[in-house]
């Protein structure tokens, strides 16, 4: 929750100071080459593979040997990433031109400049992820939770201190510093505090290296839609000034509840699932994954209905003001609502993917995801030609639903997690409550917004009276909560009782 709020504060600061235009588009696009390097050379999700490997050594009583493997990979890949960062600095400008055909020469130069600043950050991200893996195995999640908070605070801090002198490049410097302190330093401190000591060793013949390569190579050479979605959308959105920024802001706002529903649950479940699989507890593994997916889908339906109903007020409150105009708010709210339609699928695929990784199976989901990419990419072009940037959000929705369904079917076919284990009744009850509550909240939000436009403050509401958006949100959330609770209770759902009990209000 804290990381999501700090992330929104970062988005608010950037929108207020820089708005949505060519410079912010260049900043958003500057992350793509560093992210691509990270995914291609180390498989992106480093901690996922190491949690599985360390759990296997731990089950055999060889925890020290597992840590030896960890530092062999650490030493080897830090050197590889350092060399790759240096080489890619010379290729930054051609890459930016190729992936953003709508950029002007000035945008290409600015984006390439920030790309070079951000490339070394991937070394710190990788190092922190490797050092954080033993902490996840020990179920110490505080260090991982602190990473995004420190990262976002660093961007805000460097922006405040340097934006007048360096412009938007100050944000790129803040991001690199954020990965250094928020990923590398904090996880190194946590590892040292847990008694893990650095070891200098590069033994390419160690059997643990073969295990790591077997699990990581599919992640290196297989690309998933959740990763490449920004590349596909950015390729077309670069033709419209500010579209990359507005889509990114909508995705960031959408990612806040998604991180709470799916990513946070998936990361927290990963060590648990890996432990069950390593201990040969197949039934507990299957029911644990199915229950997690059922919960996030059910909660995803409810969260989507609320966010879609209040999309304009939410975007106006979070991003509106400063250099982020009312036109920017309207377009971002549309993109946000469209992205939110597929929240349940983003949530489900995150946990299904982690179920495969927990079992040490990485090639199959990567192969399936690569096939889905081939199917999905033409849809982005069709969507953009038909509906502009909004069509890119719809194409993303279709692709991620296909991704979640495919992973679920593959787990079912391999007899790892049965589709019959999902709680369809509870998901149906939550969908019904979502439609009812979302409809009421949406009508109320529209009526209140229409009323506010006729008040004397209407002309300045967007810039000086964001408290009105807060009041509209509060009223609509209250109405949504009452309708959702009533519908769930009448349909026999246990969700209201469970929620009240966890809040201590039962």
Q: Which of 187, 221, 255 is the last residue of a domain?
A: 221
Check whether residue 192 and residue 258 sit in a common domain. no
**What is the torsion angle, in degrees rounded to the nearest 10, for the CA atoms of residue 151, residue 157, residue 162 and residue 167?**
60
CB atoms within 10 A of CB 177: 18
Predicted confidence (pLDDT) per residue in 403-444, tens digit: 999 999 999 999 999 999 999 999 999 999 999 999 999 999
- 487 in a domain, yes or no? no
Check whether residue 117 and residue 171 sit in a common domain. yes
CA angle at 201 for the pair 197 and 204, rounded to the nearest 5° = 135
Instruction: Count the helices and strands in the chain (H runs, E runs).
Output: 24, 0
First to last CA, the chain: 23
Check whether residue 230 and residue 190 sit in a common domain. no
Check whether residue 213 and residue 137 sit in a common domain. yes
Residue 280, phi-psi category: left (phi > 0), alpha (psi -120 to 50), beta (remainder)? left
Check whether residue 262 and residue 196 sit in a common domain. no
Q: What contacts 163, CB < 8 A, 6 or more positions away?
A: 17, 170, 171
Check whether residue 255 and residue 194 sit in a common domain. no
Check whether residue 200 and residue 291 sit in a common domain. no
- 493 in a domain, yes or no? no
**Highest mean pLDDT pick, 43-57, 97-111, 204-218:** 97-111
Asked if 181 contacts 190 with a C-beta cutoff of 8 angstroms, the reply is no
- How far, in Å, CA of 93 to CA of 413, rounded? 45
- 165 in a domain, yes or no? yes
Q: Is 402 helix (H, G, I), strand (E, B) or coil?
A: helix
For position 45, what pLDDT does the model report? 54
Q: Which of 221, 249, 279 is the last residue of a domain?
A: 221
**Sign of the torsion formed by the C-alpha atoms of 331, 332, 333 and 339:** positive
Report the pLDDT averaged over residues 462-475. 70
Predicted confidence (pLDDT) per residue in 283-320, tens digit: 989 988 898 899 889 888 999 999 999 998 889 888 98
Report the pLDDT averaged over residues 360-382. 86
**Sign of the torsion formed by the C-alpha atoms of 50, 53, 58 and 64:** negative
Check whether residue 281 and residue 341 sit in a common domain. yes
- How far, in Å, CA of 369 to CA of 364, rounded? 8
Asked if 162 contacts 177 with a C-beta cutoff of 8 angstroms, the reply is no
Residue entry with tokens 């889905």: 372
- 397 in a domain, yes or no? yes
For position 295, what pLDDT does the model report? 86
Check whether residue 161 and residue 300 sit in a common domain. no
Domain that holds residue 21: 1-221
- 41 in a domain, yes or no? yes
Confidence of residue 464 (pLDDT cuts 50, 70, 90): very low
- 249 in a domain, yes or no? yes
Count: domains in the chain: 2
Q: Which of 172, 189, 221 is the last residue of a domain?
A: 221
Asked if 27 contacts 173 with a C-beta cutoff of 8 angstroms, the reply is no
- 485 in a domain, yes or no? no
Percent of the chain with pLDDT over 70: 90
Asked if 125 contacts 181 with a C-beta cutoff of 8 angstroms, the reply is no
Report the pLDDT averaged over residues 53-82. 83
Check whether residue 8 and residue 132 sit in a common domain. yes
Check whether residue 158 and residue 242 sit in a common domain. no
Confidence of residue 264 (pLDDT cuts 50, 70, 90): very low
- 474 in a domain, yes or no? no
Check whether residue 214 and residue 334 sit in a common domain. no
- How far, in Å, CA of 246 to CA of 334, rounded? 10
DSSP bridge partners of 321? 324
């Amino acid at each position: 929750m804290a990381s999501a709020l700090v992330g929104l504060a970062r988005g608010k600061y950037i929108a207020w100071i820089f708005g949505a235009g060519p410079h912010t588009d260049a900043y958003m696009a500057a992350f793509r080459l560093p992210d691509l390097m990270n995914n291609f050379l180390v498989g992106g999700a480093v901690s996922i593979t190491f949690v599985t490997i360390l759990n296997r050594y731990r089950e055999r009583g060889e925890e020290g040997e597992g840590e030896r493997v960890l530092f062999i990979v650490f030493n080897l890949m830090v050197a590889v990433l350092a060399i790759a960062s240096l080489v890619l600095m010379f290729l930054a400008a051609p890459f930016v031109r190729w992936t953003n055909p709508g950029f002007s020469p000035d945008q290409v130069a600015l984006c390439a400049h920030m790309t070079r600043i951000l490339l070394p950050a991937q070394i710190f991200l990788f190092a922190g992820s490797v050092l954080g893996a033993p902490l996840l195995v020990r179920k110490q999640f505080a260090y991982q939770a602190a990473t995004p908070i420190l990262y976002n605070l660093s961007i805000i801090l460097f922006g405040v201190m340097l934006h007048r002198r360096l412009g938007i490049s100050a944000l790129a410097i803040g991001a690199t510093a954020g990965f250094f302190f928020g990923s590398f330093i904090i996880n190194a401190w946590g590892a040292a505090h847990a008694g893990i000591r650095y070891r200098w060793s590069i033994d390419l013949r160690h059997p643990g290296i073969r295990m790591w390569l077997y699990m990581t190579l599919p992640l290196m050479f297989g690309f998933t839609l959740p990763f490449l979605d920004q590349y596909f959308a950015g390729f077309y959105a670069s033709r419209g000034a500010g579209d990359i920024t507005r889509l990114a802001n909508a995705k960031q706002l959408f990612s806040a509840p998604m991180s709470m529903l799916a990513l946070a649950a998936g990361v927290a479940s990963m060590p648990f699932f890996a432990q069950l699989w390593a201990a040969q507890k197949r039934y507990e593994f299957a029911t644990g994954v199915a229950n997690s997916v059922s919960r996030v889908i059910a909660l995803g339906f409810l969260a989507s209905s609320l966010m879609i109903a209040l999309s304009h007020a939410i975007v106006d409150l979070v991003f509106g003001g400063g250099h982020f105009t009312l036109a920017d708010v309207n377009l971002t709210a549309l993109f946000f609502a469209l992205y939110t339609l597929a929240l349940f699928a983003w949530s489900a695929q995150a946990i299904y993917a982690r179920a495969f990784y927990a079992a040490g199976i990485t090639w199959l989901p990567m192969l399936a995801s690569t096939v889905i990419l081939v199917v999905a990419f033409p849809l982005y072009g069709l969507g953009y030609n038909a509906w502009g940037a909004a069509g890119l959000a719809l194409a993303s929705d279709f692709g991620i639903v296909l991704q979640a369904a495919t992973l679920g079917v593959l787990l079912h076919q391999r007899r790892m997690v049965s589709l019959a284990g999902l709680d369809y009744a509870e998901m149906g009850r939550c969908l019904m409550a979502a439609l009812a509550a979302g409809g009421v909240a949406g009508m109320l939000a529209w009526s209140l917004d229409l009323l506010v436009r006729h008040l004397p403050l209407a002309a300045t509401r967007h810039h000086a009276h964001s408290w009105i958006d807060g009041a509209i949100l509060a009223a609509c959330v209250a109405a949504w909560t009452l309708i959702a609770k009533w519908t769930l209770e009448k349909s026999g759902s246990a969700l209201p009782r469970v929620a009240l009990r966890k809040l201590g209000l039962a």
